[in-house]
A and B are shown apart, each in its own frame.
Chain A
């Protein structure tokens, strides 16, 4: 865990930079150390196999589960193929297809959130990016199996939230999660993208902020200096937190689980 001294010195924008660090562990790096098996499955059965969001069955410790998450890719070719982790509607529809399968066989689901946002392309619009995200939000709110969410890097707006409706929301210490990128917000409200550090502070996007706002349940500590310095230690911390969450959620009857999930999101932003 980062020492108190370094944690105090970090601004919100420092965290944004860390969260985006290409050396930071991504989905497959986490699985390398946290899962003894990962069998990727492909396609939305409609249009394509999106590479920005990947999914498959995995064994994490003693838990068999479905893992799905954003995929940024490790090489330039993979980065381009995966749009740097910006999923297409096909990706969200693949996630829903496989989540339904997990529900059928009573398997818990673990999602890994790490995206700048949903892919803003013309084909993504033509295939209904808005509909895919909307459907995913509704779908996961009604799904009758435990869902554990881990925000590992960039939690970029609707493209992140689409796979972040779950029963337990975990977030890595240096991850960020926001309604809009600091640059985007600064461009609109400051009329100057260079004011991103100000916007990052104002938006309150760090794990600590989100815990205080009641949006996440737990902060997963990172190794000294950040997860990019030690993939294995970061992955093992995630494994421990995910397993504990799964074990706890499995004890809850599924109807109660779904009601509690509704109540959890229902309470967010109710000030009246």
Chain B
């Protein structure tokens, strides 16, 4: 017996997380300040990474035009939900304290290129962007206010899906939000859905896929079921580009993949076509 066991693979020296951003698509190590300077876009593969809700609002709304609404609408712990790591309430209260947000979508009135719109942006950093009752309520209210004030709706999604801590009522938010955007579209108003990385599960299977225009950014992950679930179902490895923005466009579910720097002008241009 050997005195010591030689490791089979040489241990990688983990780069200091504080200094490097690892691109989840191509694995490149990018200095954090470079990553930030490049607006969370990978310098190697052009993956468009995640932005905070406030950051994206700043990039989409005309300067000083965003006025937040429905901030009083927050989560609900109607199930008094507890799991292995403790209570839902403790977990989400910590997220609220840290982020300053009270739900996974930030909603407000704004102007884009001088056009009054209803603008909503989901934040993946808030409980994985999950669709809770508060999220669904904010979105439904936004649709109703948009109808009342004749505003187009621009909604940027980033979510892992329904928030299981809120049980069946989180599932029902899929129906509620889909019904609400359905009414908005029936009222003759445009709904522009921006599916950002990642948009999956119950959010992709409700309001996010229902845009008059469904647009996305390069290399965003968009899909219904998780990759591992599908691989276990079909007993096959899936190709790397499966459920990418490009894959969805090829299969006909995305109107356009738009680079982040062109997102606002593209939306404004489309709204001009729609008569706004």
A80 at the interface (CB under 8 A from B): no
Bound form: Cα–Cα A120–B231 in Å: 9
Q: Are A272 and B137 in contact (CB under 8 A)?
A: yes
Residues of B within 8 A of A179 (CB): 162, 164, 166-168, 170-171, 202
Bound form: Cα–Cα A70–B165 in Å: 27
Report the contact-size class of chain A (Cβ under 8 Å from the partner): 35 or more
Residues of A within 8 A of B202 (CB): 157-158, 179
Q: Are A137 and B178 in contact (CB under 8 A)?
A: yes
Bound form: Cα–Cα A177–B140 in Å: 23
Residues of B within 8 A of A270 (CB): 133, 137
B interface residues, tally (CB under 8 Å): 65
Residues of B within 8 A of A272 (CB): 72-74, 134, 137
B109 at the interface (CB under 8 A from A): no
B185 to chain A, nearest CB (A): 8
Q: Are B178 and A141 in contact (CB under 8 A)?
A: yes
Q: Are B169 and A269 in contact (CB under 8 A)?
A: yes
| A171-226 contacts to B (CB < 8 Å) | 177-180, 185, 188-192, 195, 198-199, 202-205, 209-210, 213, 215
Residues of B within 8 A of A254 (CB): none
Residues of B within 8 A of A135 (CB): 209-210
Q: Taking A122-B230, A202-B82 as contacts, is the C-beta distance between A269 and B166 under 8 angstroms?
A: yes
The digit string for B214-246, where 1 denotes a CB below 8 A from any CB of A, is 000000001111100110011010100011000
Q: How many A-B residue pairs have CB under 8 A?
A: 191
B8 at the interface (CB under 8 A from A): no
Q: Are B164 and A271 in contact (CB under 8 A)?
A: no
Q: Are B209 and A202 in contact (CB under 8 A)?
A: no
Q: Are A122 and B238 in contact (CB under 8 A)?
A: yes
Partner of A189, one of B85, B168, B182, B186: B85
Residue in B closest to A212 when the chains form the complex, CB atoms: B78
- Please report whether the interface of chain B is mostly helix, strand, loop or mixed according to DSSP: helix
B246 to chain A, nearest CB (A): 13
Interface-centre pick from A127, A128, A134 (highest chain B CB count, 10 A): A134
B10 to chain A, nearest CB (A): 29
Q: Are B179 and A130 in contact (CB under 8 A)?
A: no
A124 at the interface (CB under 8 A from B): yes
Bound form: Cα–Cα A130–B161 in Å: 11
Residue in A closest to B228 when the chains form the complex, CB atoms: A120
Q: Are A215 and B168 in contact (CB under 8 A)?
A: yes
The digit string for B180-210, where 1 denotes a CB below 8 A from any CB of A, is 1111001000000000000011101111111
Bound form: Cα–Cα A189–B167 in Å: 13
Partner of A202, one of B83, B201, B229: B83
B81 at the interface (CB under 8 A from A): yes
Q: Are B251 and A204 in contact (CB under 8 A)?
A: no
A202 to chain B, nearest CB (A): 6
Residues of B within 8 A of A141 (CB): 175, 178-179, 182
Bound form: Cα–Cα A168–B231 in Å: 37
A262 at the interface (CB under 8 A from B): yes
A245 at the interface (CB under 8 A from B): no
B26 at the interface (CB under 8 A from A): no
Q: Are A124 and B224 in contact (CB under 8 A)?
A: yes
Partner of A268, one of B176, B182, B204, B224: B176
A115 to chain B, nearest CB (A): 13
Residue in A closest to B169 when the chains form the complex, CB atoms: A269
Bound form: Cα–Cα A182–B166 in Å: 14
| A50-104 contacts to B (CB < 8 Å) | none
B249 to chain A, nearest CB (A): 12
Q: Are A133 and B224 in contact (CB under 8 A)?
A: yes
Q: Are A269 and B173 in contact (CB under 8 A)?
A: yes
Q: Are B179 and A269 in contact (CB under 8 A)?
A: no
The digit string for A111-130, where 1 denotes a CB below 8 A from any CB of B, is 00000001111101111111
Q: Taking A130-B205, A137-B178 as contacts, is the C-beta distance between A204 and B79 under 8 angstroms?
A: yes
Q: Are A271 and B84 in contact (CB under 8 A)?
A: no
Q: Are B172 and A215 in contact (CB under 8 A)?
A: yes
For the complex of A and B, list the 6 residue pairs with the smallest distance between their C-beta atoms, beginning with the closest.
A269-B133, A120-B225, A141-B179, A137-B178, A189-B83, A130-B204
Extra A-B contacts (4), CB below 8 Å, given A125-B223, A133-B224, A158-B206: A165-B179, A189-B83, A268-B172, A269-B172
Some 23 contacts from A to B, beta carbons below 8 A apart, are A121-B230, A125-B242, A127-B251, A129-B224, A130-B205, A133-B206, A137-B175, A137-B179, A138-B178, A138-B181, A161-B174, A161-B175, A179-B164, A179-B168, A188-B164, A189-B84, A262-B183, A266-B176, A269-B76, A269-B133, A269-B169, A269-B176, A272-B134
